[in-house]
Amino acid sequence: MNPAKDAAWDIRIERLEGGYGSRRIIKGMDATFPGGAITAILGESGGGKTTLLRILLGLTPPFSGRIFMGGRDIFSLTPSQFRRIRRRFGVLFQDGALLGALTLAENVALPLTEHTKLSRKVLRNAALRTLELVGLEQFADFYPSELSGGMRKRAGLARAIVTEPPLLFCDEPTSGLDPITSAQMDQLLLDMKKHYPSMTTVVITHDLGSVRHIADHVLVIGDGRAAFSGSKEELYASPDPYLRSFLDREAQEERRMTAPPLDESVRAALAEWLNQ
Partner 1 sequence: MKKTSLTLQDLAAPLLSGLNRFGEMALFLLDAFRQSFFTHRLPGKVVRQIYTIGAQSMFVILLIGIFTGLVLGLQAFYAMSMFGAQGMLGSLLSLTLIREMAPVLTAVMVTARAGSAMTAEIGVMRISDQIDALAVMDISPVGYLVTPRLLASLAAFPLLTAIFNVIGIFGGYLSACVLLGLNEGRYFSGIESSVTMSDVSGSFLKAVVFAVIVITVCCYQGYNAHRRSDGKGPEAVGNATTSAVVVSCVLILMSDYVLTSFLL
Ligand X SMILES: Nc1ncnc2c1ncn2[C@@H]1O[C@H](COP(=O)(O)OP(=O)(O)O)[C@@H](O)[C@H]1O
Contact between 47 and ligand X (CB under 6 A)? yes
Nearest approach in angstroms of CB 20 to ligand X is 3
Torsion on CA atoms 202, 204, 205, 211, rounded to nearest 10? 20
Give the one residue of 31, 47, 67, 93 binding partner 1; rule: CB under 8 A.
93
Contact between 51 and ligand X (CB under 6 A)? yes
Phi, psi of 31 (to 5 degrees): -165, 160
> Alpha carbon of 44 to those of 205, 221, 227: distances in Å?
10, 8, 12
Site for partner 1 in 147-206 (CB under 8 A): none
Contact between 211 and ligand X (CB under 6 A)? no
> Alpha carbon of 258 to those of 95, 192, 261, 264: distances in Å?
34, 46, 9, 16
Q: Annotate each residue in 104-133 with x if it binds partner 1 (CB under 8 A) or - if it does not, as one string.
A: ------xx-xxx------------------
Note the Cα 148 to chain centre separation in Å. 19
Give the one residue of 10, 16, 49, 211 binding ligand X; rule: CB under 6 A.
49
Site for Mg ion in 69-98 (CB under 5 A): 94
Contact between 99 and partner 1 (CB under 8 A)? yes
CB neighbour burial string for 92-110, b if at least 16 within 10 angstroms, e if fewer: bbbebebeeeebbbbbbbb
Contact between 95 and partner 1 (CB under 8 A)? yes
Give the one residue of 50, 107, 182, 205 binding Mg ion; rule: CB under 5 A.
50
User: Using CA of residue 153, residue 154, residue 157, residue 163, what is the dihedral sign?
Assistant: negative
Give the one residue of 4, 7, 59, 271 binding partner 1; rule: CB under 8 A.
59
Nearest approach in angstroms of CB 93 to ligand X is 11
Distance CA 55, CA 41 (A): 14
Residues that bind Mg ion (CB under 5 A): 50, 94
Binding site for partner 1 (CB under 8 A): 54, 57, 59, 83, 86-87, 89, 91, 93-95, 97-101, 110-111, 113-115
